[in-house]
Chains A and B, each alone.
Chain A
Amino acid sequence: MASPYSRFRNVFSRYRPPPLLPTTIRTIQILATLHLVSTTLVELRICTGFSMLPTLSQHGDCVLVSPLPYWSPFSETHTRSKRPKRGDVVVATSPMDPSQTVCKRVLGVEGDLIEIEPRRGNQRKWIDNAGVGFMVDIPQDIDLEGHDQDRHISHEELGLMSKPKRNGEGQWVKVPKGHVWLVGDNLSNSTDSRKYGPVPIAMIKGKVLARVSEILNLPDISNVAELGDQVYPNPAWIENNLRQIDE
């Protein structure tokens, strides 16, 4: 008398789990191969944060990173051409924390003279008290009442006085040998070479080739009309947005 489950029981009793050792070995081999491909050929990485805001979203963009553009088999002859160029978006080990990586744009290569703080104008501040961040101009808190009686102040002087100077404004740095100057695209909210100084080239892990997709695409429905052209094409190649300015 065959119960309806006897067939299943038969199948179950005949089932042998896959032998443990070959499965483990095969898994290790596959994982090692994937690791090799991701460290030498191409890799998909998730890049979050506000520092690259116009180029990469703050919610986390999936980007294509490859060390191949900087890989040179004959290091002596091709050294100059294989080093990071101005305008490249690169992924580097964070100088502040070796377990993290940062994604920044190369602003200067060795020998360049760079102003630490290129922004001019009002100090702006990132306000995030209600969970919705926005930029605010800090009101100029220099009272001009005392100077109003005194009519002899020139216009330039007044302009200089009313503009608070930023930290690093007007200070110039020469990028040392073997280093690059890394800066985020969002200058007002980025921890970069302005804080930790020039970064050695050996810290650069790869070049960001393309943005593949936005992993957490949360369009604000109410603001879509206002955003308009701010919605970037997705996916896209990351370009070297370098323009020569003739003096």
Chain B
Amino acid sequence: MSKAGSFFRHKGVKDAFRVLAWVPVGIFFTRHVYSLASVTGGSMQPTFNPNLSSSPLHHDVVLLERWSVAINRFRRGDVVTLWSPQNPELLTTKRIVALEGDLVNPLPPSPPTPIRIPPGHCWVEGDSKYQTRDSNTYGPIPLGLITSRVAYILWPWPRRGLVDTDLPTKSKGRVRTLGQSFLQSKFGEALNND
């Protein structure tokens, strides 16, 4: 028998290989199915880290649902993680406000003309009342930057639960979706004005 053959016949080596073979499976799971992350910063303030000013070192632990991005399922109101378009090393958390074809009235940092979202892009905004660095700063972003959907808050035990997919009040009423007809949008505006 060759030396290599006898080496692979050791029980310890066999066990090591048996364990190592699971490593790629685990990596695949955390990259494409589910993984954990902690949220820092206050751009999504009512949703994550609501009392950042009183406890600045606190991080929310959240569950990232990656398979919905792998099958290209994006919905308005989803909280997603995405690579910052301005800094390719920074992962940020924002909420999808509009998808392709929608008409958005942007907030102050960008000029106040309605923007039509181009194909394959979306409009993301932070939940915070204060200015966040979002699509109002850098415009519509390509969907390819989105890495995962934030599905569940795990750690601060009292606040655990599904992340709500309702748009915050500042984002409501500024988006006209592609499916809405002219009359419908008029009607909706009238209702909002009451």
Contact = CB atoms under 8 A, between A and B. Distances in A.
Nearest to B91: A202
Interface residues of B, number: 26
Contacts of A96: 118-120
A75 interface: yes
A67 B72 CA distance: 22
B20 to A, nearest CB: 10
Interface stretch (A30-38, A141-149, A158-166, A228-236): A30-38
Nearest to B86: A178
A79 interface: yes
Nearest to B87: A178
Contacts of B28: 32, 35-36
A99 interface: yes
Interface string B150-189: 0000000000000000000000000000000000000000
B143 A201 contact: no
B67 interface: no
A196 B120 CA distance: 10
B128 interface: no
Contacts of A94: 120, 144
B144 A32 contact: no
Interface of A is mostly: mixed
A179 B85 CA distance: 7
Contact of A95 (B22, B24, B72, B142): B142
Contacts of B24: 29, 32-33, 35-36
Interface in B116-162: 118-121, 138, 141-146
A32 B171 CA distance: 41
B88 A32 contact: no
A73 B35 CA distance: 21
B25 interface: yes
B86 A29 contact: no
Interface in A106-142: none
Interface in A186-205: 196, 199-203
A176 B144 CA distance: 18
11 contacts: A28-B25, A36-B27, A79-B89, A95-B142, A96-B119, A178-B87, A178-B88, A199-B142, A200-B141, A202-B85, A202-B145
